[in-house]
Structure 1
Amino acid sequence: MNIAMFSDSYYPYVSGVVRSIELFRHELQQLGHNVYIFAPAYRRQTEEEGVFRFPSITAPTNKNFSLALPFAPGVGQKLRDLKIDLVHCHSPFLLGNVGARTARRHNLPLVFTHHTLYDLYVHYVPLFPGLARRLVLGFVRRFCNRCNLVITPTNVVAKRLRELGINAPMQAIPTGLKLEEFANPDNGWLRREYGIGPEEKVILCVARFGKEKNLDMILEAFRLINRDCPDSRLFLVGIGPCEEELRTMAKDMGLASRVTIVGRRLSRQTLTNYYAGADLFMYAAVTETQGIIIGEAQAVGLPVVAVGANGVAEMVNEGFDGFLTAPSAAALAENSLVILQNEELRQRLSSQARESAEQISSTATATRMANAYATLLK
């Protein structure tokens, strides 16, 4: 099959959506299909075969994100030249809308992955968030109901979309994990790199530094943990617009010496070493449709304590590979301390976390996606 994927975000921008596109593209191509990406242009992008860029402008609320100009003269001819069989959109907006219009114009099957709970991101709209939420929900509902198939990363999200009035055919296919990336971590790297003693407990959170990730709650939870467990350390790893705000917050809490903020893009091996050197993964976002990052932590054997909302609730198996909590710093801290203060429990959860990760290999999930495509084409 020849597949065209349209997305409003792609490398060098880093996000869960971008990671999902990258993994599915790689695995689908391994299965013998051709996948072409249509994405915004960035100033520091590298040229990549099969990736077509649209002129773009810098987003006013995030200087690291580009907004594509959704004017597409010639895109239909490009799809004909590439002999595209199917269009898969990863956003309902700018380029997703271009992809959908082009698919309808050329009578191609249209697939959409609902990566994001868009109505929970209206804090990026400076005025009238209530109105913005209603408009976004209506727009997304209409977009989905024009698709031949809507992919959701989890069944929890599929249920939520049905309740919002989306009646298009729907299938839950999670973003998989490239398990070989996590097979040989350097378990001692983190402690060597930062001079961390064997008695110290390391808590890790990997997330985009954006308001929706609730990293202020992570810092507050760590403040409570550190009060009862003074030898604990917190690592926040990611990039995003809230980095300086987080540094200021940690300093104001008197935690500057115990909190390390790693605000740069890391290689997959280095990120794996951060996972492998930690004792616990903590996560507070409530907007996730899946939470790929949780699967990555589990693949290296990290127990997870996370707020049990939306897609995350399906990624953590309560009491098996971690704990799900209420959306509060106190609940996160309490459950984290249960694990950190019981090494036998931590080791058991660690072993079982690896078992959970093995259930969603990227090869298996890409095969499911390819089968869904093939059913549409029939």
Structure 2
Amino acid sequence: MHVVMFADQHVESLGGAQVSMRLQRRFLERAGHTVTVVAPRMHRPAPTDPAYVDLPSIPVTPDREYALSWPGIRTDRFVDAAMARRAPVDVVHVQADFWGAFIGHRYAARHGLPVVHTMHNRVDVGIEATAPFPALVLRVLNVWARRALRPALRVREARQAPDG
């Protein structure tokens, strides 16, 4: 089985979700599965690994540890081209809350693949604890999610439409 994981941050960066994904990959591969990890390219030295698809990205922290990949048509094309050179995918495992989630769900919808979505945190609680005007921030994020996922929803609806 080929599992493709989508993340908000490169799995070689710091963070609990990243550690979890590295461990999942290790044990899936020990069980004989193939794993590909799609995440924003790091902007500091990081190990290269043929299992990684490093998306074009922009750094979002001063230490360049974390980066953002914008979900959209250009990123969709980049992911599709990178994945076309790999074994067929059996399942998409989204382990992201923001851009990685949008990119992963869009990929799965375009290719008619099943999705498992693991949440590693409570975005609402984190934003409430750290952001000024958390209700506004959450509303903006929800609008962004609807816009970013609109193409994926259209593909899914077209697949589910009865033949006329």
User: What residue in structure 2 maps to residue 76 of structure 1?
Assistant: 80
Tell me, yes or no, if the aligned pair for 2:76 and 2:103 is still in contact at 8 Å. yes
11 and 91 in structure 1: CA distance in 2 versus 1, 3 angstrom threshold: closer
Q: CA deviation at 1:53?
A: 0.3
- What's the offset of the Cα at 1:135? 5.0
Q: 2:6, 2:37 within 8 Å by CA — same for their partners in 1?
A: yes
**2: CA distance, partners of 1:68 / 1:59:** 10
Q: Percent identity?
A: 28
CA–CA distance in structure 2, aligned partners of residues 136 and 130 of structure 1: 10
SS in 1 for 2:65: strand
Q: Is the alpha carbon distance of 1:38 and 1:114 closer, same or farther for their aligned partners in structure 2, counting shifts above 3 Å? A: same
Residue 18 (structure 1) shift? 0.4
Q: Which residue number in structure 2 is paired with residue 20 of structure 1?
A: 20
The residue aligned with 2:120 is 115
- Are the aligned partners of 1:5 and 1:87 in contact in 2 as well (CA < 8 Å)? yes
Distance 1:100-1:17 versus aligned 2 partners, 3 A rule = same
Q: Is 2:51 the counterpart of 1:44?
A: no
Q: Aligned residue for 1:178?
A: none
Name the structure, 1 or 2, with higher relative contact order (CA <8 Å, separation 6+). 2
Post-superposition Cα deviations, 1:285-309, rounded to whole Å, max 9, x if no partner, equal xxxxxxxxxxxxxxxxxxxxxxxxx
State the one-letter code of the partner of 2:12: P
The one of 134, 137, 141 aligned to 1:132: 137
Q: Structure 2: which 5+ runs fail to align?
A: 153-164
Matched, 1:66 2:67: yes
Q: Contact 2:53–2:82 (CA<8 Å) still a contact in 1?
A: no
- Tell me the amino acid that sits aligned with residue 92 of structure 2: V
Distance 2:82 2:59 in 1: 25
**Residues 38 and 67 of structure 1, relative CA distance in 2, 3 Å threshold:** same
1:1-378 to structure 2, matched below 5 A, reads: 1-42=1-42, 43-60=44-61, 63-70=64-71, 71-82=75-86, 83-122=88-127, 123-125=129-131, 127-136=132-141, 139=145
> Compared with structure 1, are the counterparts of its residues 111 and 78 closer, same or farther at alpha carbon in structure 2 (3 Å cutoff)?
same
Aligned length: 142
Alpha-carbon distance, 1:60 to partner: 4.6
4+ aligned runs moved over 3 Å, structure 1: 60-63, 133-140
Name the residue aligned to 2:156. none
Rounded Cα–Cα distance in structure 1 between residues aligned with 2:141 and 2:78: 29
Q: For the aligned residues, what is the CA RMSD?
A: 2.7
Evaluate the alpha carbon distance shift between residue 94 and residue 131 of structure 1 in structure 2; reply closer, same or farther with a 3 A threshold: same
In the TM superposition, what is the alpha-carbon distance from 1:26 to its structure 2 partner?
Answer: 0.4
Contact 1:119 1:136 in 2 (8 A): no
5+ residue gaps, structure 1, are 147-378
- Please report how far the alpha carbon of residue 85 of structure 1 lies from its aligned counterpart in structure 2 after TM superposition: 1.1
Deviation at 1:79, TM superposition (A): 2.9
For 2:22 and 2:133, the matched residues in 1 are separated by 35
Quote how far apart the aligned CAs of 1:20 are. 0.6
Alpha-carbon distance in 2 for matches of 1:35, 1:100: 17
Query: Aligned pair in 2 of structure 1 residues 137, 119: CA closer, same or farther (>3 Å)?
Result: farther
Distance 2:12 2:111 in 1: 30
State the partner residue of 2:158.
none
Give 1:51 shift: 0.6
* Matches of 2:99 and 2:142, distance apart in 1: 16
Q: Supply the AA of the counterpart residue of 2:48.
A: E
TM-score (norm 1): 0.34
Change in Cα spacing, 1:99 to 1:11, as seen in structure 2 (3 Å) is: closer
Indicate conservation of the 8 Å contact 2:8/2:98, yes or no.
yes
Does the residue aligned with 1:64 lie in a helix, a strand or coil?
coil
> 1:150-197 deviations in whole A, cap 9, x for unaligned?
xxxxxxxxxxxxxxxxxxxxxxxxxxxxxxxxxxxxxxxxxxxxxxxx
Q: Alpha-carbon deviation of 1:111?
A: 1.2
Residues 130 and 61 (structure 1), Cα distance of their counterparts in 2 relative to 1, 3 Å cut:
farther
Q: Is the 8 A contact 1:40 1:55 kept in 2?
A: yes
CA distance in 2, matches of 1:30, 1:21: 14
